[in-house]
Amino acid sequence: MSGDFLQQIHKDRRRKENPYAYLMGDGTYDALPALSTTRSRTINDPEGVDSASDLHSLRRAANDSQPRSRKGIAALVRELHSLLWRSRRALFPDRRHVDPLELLDPILTLRFLGFECNLVESLGQYALEGQNVEVAGTVDASGRSVEVSRQFEPPVRKFTAAHELGHAILHPAQALHRDRAFDGTQLRDPRDRTEWEADVFATYFLMPDKLVRARFEALFRTSEFVLNEETAFALNAGDIEELRARYIETRHLSRLLAKTTYYDGCHFDSLAQQFGVSFEAMAIRLEELRLIKL
């Protein structure tokens, strides 16, 4: 596809504020999306979308919650998730059923909100504390543009895109900004407030509490996992005393459950795989939600 044609698509997307201009029906990252037609929200079409209006509403809600606490960011993310769920038929017009996990896609969400968002082979490097660091993502919130580097593993790319989504909504006046690779295993220095806020946003967007709880309970059939003879047998992980000696800290057990693909006779994708995050990020989230008890 020619550069002139792509440029024309860019101009048409901006003119129409078309949230589907770069969106494939299956929400994949790699293929160049075809141009679709957006619908306006009307009384007779409550599930129509207006990306400019929705983005404005989210940004206004974000600005109304200064300073932004974890609780405030969580409420904002819930509002965004609700918007995506209401718009699921517009996002996936050829699908009768949409798994809520499919809506936890930061690139799809950025495009839905009218951002130009692309995966690129490399974003170059920059000097940080005397070392050259590969740039993982960039965001120009005011210019509605996000890029994510392919140089990193999928969980890092996904968290980076969610982090940039956080910047796009929380910090609308931000000019071009570069971010290094990060997978959500720890929040960055809270003294850099904007980065901390974007990290918290990304964590809550990718691993919402209700959905993580629901999937955890569906796999392990409990709302609080306790390591005992019964659960050790279900894990097929060995003798209970041996396990207790090996998993002496909560983090040890949370890591095991984050990557587990078998329980009580059933095979499945691990929780980390289902949510598209790193094992460590999911382990931390399970602890935050108090789903594990030694």
Shared domain check, 191 and 99: yes
Tell me the pLDDT tens digit for each residue of 121-179. 999 987 667 778 889 999 998 899 999 999 999 999 999 999 999 999 999 888 787 78
Integer Cα distance of 284 and 189 in angstroms: 17
- Quick: pLDDT tens for 177-200: 778 787 888 777 666 888 899 999
- Do 173 and 214 lie in one domain? The reply is no
Residues 55 and 184 in one domain: yes
Question: How high is the mean pLDDT of the chain?
Answer: 82
How many domains in the chain? 2
Residue 2 is predicted with a pLDDT of 42
Cα distance between residue 67 and residue 5, in whole Å: 43
Least confident among 15-29, 97-111, 152-166, 265-279:
15-29
For the record, the structure tokens of 23 come out as 């969106």
Element at 132 (helix H, strand E)? strand 131-140
Residue where a domain stops, chosen among 187, 206, 225: 206
Confidence (pLDDT) at 14: 53
pTM given for the model: 0.80
Q: Do 166 and 240 have their domain in common?
A: no
- Shared domain check, 87 and 156: yes
At 67 the pLDDT is 59
Q: How far is CA 163 from the centre of its chain?
A: 8
Residue 74: pLDDT over 70: yes
Are residues 276 and 191 part of one domain? Answer: no
Residues 164 and 135 sit within 8 Å (Cβ to Cβ) = no
Q: Judge if 32 and 92 occupy the same domain.
A: yes
pLDDT band at 214; cut points 50, 70, 90: very high
Last residue of a domain, one of 189, 206, 223: 206
Is the confidence at residue 107, as pLDDT, over 60?
yes
Dist. CA 123–CA 108, nearest whole Å: 20
Range with the lowest mean pLDDT among 58-62, 146-150, 232-236, 261-265? 58-62
Residue-wise pLDDT for 15-32, tens only, equals: 444 434 434 333 333 333
182 versus 49: which is more confidently predicted? 182
Question: Are 88 and 191 part of one and the same domain?
Answer: yes
**In this structure, are 162 and 238 located in the same domain?**
no
Are residues 234 and 150 part of one domain?
Answer: no
| Closest-CA residue to 100 (of 119, 80, 120, 118) | 80
Specify the amino acid at residue 102.
Answer: E
Domain residue limits at 149: 3-206
Torsions phi, psi for 192 (to 5 deg)? -90, 85
* 3-class SS of residue 156: helix
* Helix residue spans in the chain (DSSP H): 3-16, 51-63, 70-86, 88-91, 106-112, 154-170, 193-206, 209-220, 229-235, 240-246, 250-259, 271-275, 279-288
User: 282, 207 in Cβ contact below 8 A?
Assistant: yes
Give CA–CA dist 25/23, Å, rounded.
Answer: 6
The residue among 206, 225, 249 that closes a domain is 206
Least confident of 31-40, 98-107, 219-228: 31-40
Of 94, 93, 96, 92, whose CA–CA distance to 105 is shortest? 92
Examine the domain organization and report whether 76 and 190 are in the same domain.
Answer: yes
198 and 229 together in one domain: no
